Amino acid sequence: MNAVLSHVDYCLTLNSALTPMDRVYLTNRVLALVGDAAYDLPAKSTPLANLDALIQSAVDHGVCADLGPARQILEAELMALGTPLPSQANAHFWQLYQASPQTATDWFFALSQATNYIQTRAIAKNIGFTTPTTYGDLEITINLSKPEKDPKAIAQAAKVPQSGYPACQLCLENEGYTGRLDYPARANHRIIRFSLAGKTWGFQYSPYAYFNEHAIFLDSIHEPMHINAQTFTNLLDLVTLFPHYFVGSNADLPIVGGSMLAHEHYQGGRHLFAMAKANVQQAIALPGYAQVRAGIVHWPMSVLRLTSSDRVALAQAAEHIRAVWADYDDSSVDIRAYAADKTPHHTVTPIARRVGHDYQLDLVLRDNQTSAQYPDGIFHPHQDVQHIKKENIGLIEVMGLAILPARLRTELAEVRKYLLAQPNHIAAIHQPWAKQLKHQYTWTKANAEQQLHQAVGQVFARVLEDAGVFKQTPAGQAAFARFCAAL
């Protein structure tokens, strides 16, 4: 069989609405995308290898430009031929949901992988390991999955007129969008619609997932993120709709928020993070909320955990804490609610999950002040750990999964050589840390990788401590107690 017919057969397996009668039509649509010369191309052993061969044939015969974004656009268009239409995907999802929420998400997750919307091969490139700390086992990922910028594509994109459509990469309008040299291909992208607080929302998976079934829940309206009383109700409604998923929100302020503050959305998935495993180290009183159990979580950041079978009371208690924190000052530990111009500094990162029949909300207290000493943020990774992590500490990092930059793959390899007294090109930013490690431990070829991973994990724990508003010190914990008393 040739590659074109093999891809057509694969499309027929993806979409139950397609039948053998569609085979000739699909064959011609494939040839329209890759060129007639591809018809003589031998089939490959797997659907994705076959996809690669079709794209390479198109490049070789001048049908597709030899640019990364152009290849990705063609890849998505070829897969879109077998991807169910949005109406079909939604109808099938909600039909399966009647059996169970997990049955529905299992199907949608598998579909998103099979259509190559979830970039499984790219995700597999990520380097991941777990390191034990006093806060539990923290997870470390060196993110290699997102494609590197193609210099030729960047040059070409600069010549393309800027478009305001879609408004951002989280908008519903991305569904089926071809893409551009400066914008990702989304022809094979599908979004499940549902109602949340009387509005239409969408549910999709992340194409470059950081954890199992990494889901995104997005508002159909392009509006900025915000944390308020409705946020907590929304999160609890979502874990009612999808009880096997956690769902959380990035904070809604710069520095402490995520990278996509312009569009209201939440993230969730099927993964148990270290923070969820962390125990409550001290119960606290929450007057007026008798149905809600509350406590301080043993975690490097400042986390209050609320648990109740009554989600209405739970949302109200969460809003009470958020509102008190929004106006809370304690200058003895550098906590100030507002700037001189009344710009707010305080918000929370909330995470919801189900625990048996109970609902649970973790509220991570955030403060986005800067100072002359800490221009990147007082409660942000400080300069001495920015050689490992300089970026914002968003929802995923808050829960104990470090998303570290790709540069560390080669930089840590040089650190390892330095620690083993081998010729190396260690970066200057890592030298103080590496010198400390060299004197702190004995390094051999047998233990170097494990010890270096553990050292990175310890730095990440420090990163989280830096982001904590109440420090892991007697003064910091006394200040935390004062805030809890103010509740």
Specify if 85 maps to a domain.
yes
pLDDT at 159: 61
Specify if 364 maps to a domain.
yes
Specify if 386 maps to a domain.
no
Q: Which of 301, 305, 252 is nearest to 276 (CA)?
A: 305
Same domain? For 339 and 369 the reply is yes
- In the chain, the number of structural domains is 3
Residue 164 DSSP SS3: coil
Same domain? For 354 and 246 the reply is yes
Same domain? For 482 and 462 the reply is no
Specify if 114 maps to a domain.
no
Same domain? For 357 and 445 the reply is no
Q: Tokens 């590197």 belong to which residue?
A: 148
Q: How many CA atoms lie within 13 A of 382 on its CB side?
A: 13
Q: Can you tell me the distance from the alpha carbon of 376 to that of 466, in angstroms, rounded to the nearest whole number?
A: 12
Same domain? For 254 and 294 the reply is yes
Residue 91 DSSP SS3: helix
Specify if 481 maps to a domain.
yes
Specify if 58 maps to a domain.
yes
Same domain? For 255 and 321 the reply is yes
Q: List the strands of the sheet with 346-355, edge to edge.
A: 192-196, 199-205, 215-219, 265-269, 246-248, 346-355, 358-367, 303-308, 293-297, 280-284
Same domain? For 325 and 423 the reply is no
Same domain? For 328 and 255 the reply is yes
- How far does Cα 215 stand from its chain's mean position? 8
pTM: 0.94
Q: Can you tell me the distance from the alpha carbon of 369 to that of 378, in angstroms, rounded to the nearest whole number?
A: 6
Q: In degrees rounded to 5, what are phi and psi of residue 267?
A: -125, 150
Q: Can you tell me the distance from the alpha carbon of 15 to that of 83, in angstroms, rounded to the nearest whole number?
A: 6
**Residue 304 φ/ψ region, left for φ over 0, alpha for ψ in the -120 to 50 degree band, beta for the rest:** beta
pLDDT at 146: 72
Q: Which of 272, 245, 284 is nearest to 136 (CA)?
A: 272
Q: Can you tell me the distance from the alpha carbon of 352 to that of 245, in angstroms, rounded to the nearest whole number?
A: 9
pLDDT at 153: 58
Same domain? For 408 and 293 the reply is no
pLDDT at 260: 84
Domain of residue 64: give its range: 3-94
Count the Cβ atoms, other than its own, within 10 Å of residue 285.
10
β-bridge pairing 401-404 and 136-142: parallel
Same domain? For 299 and 333 the reply is yes
Specify if 448 maps to a domain.
yes
In the chain, which residues have pLDDT < 70?
147-162
Same domain? For 21 and 55 the reply is yes
pLDDT at 312: 97
pLDDT at 151: 56
Q: Can you tell me the distance from the alpha carbon of 177 to that of 180, in angstroms, rounded to the nearest whole number?
A: 9
Same domain? For 417 and 448 the reply is yes
Specify if 7 maps to a domain.
yes
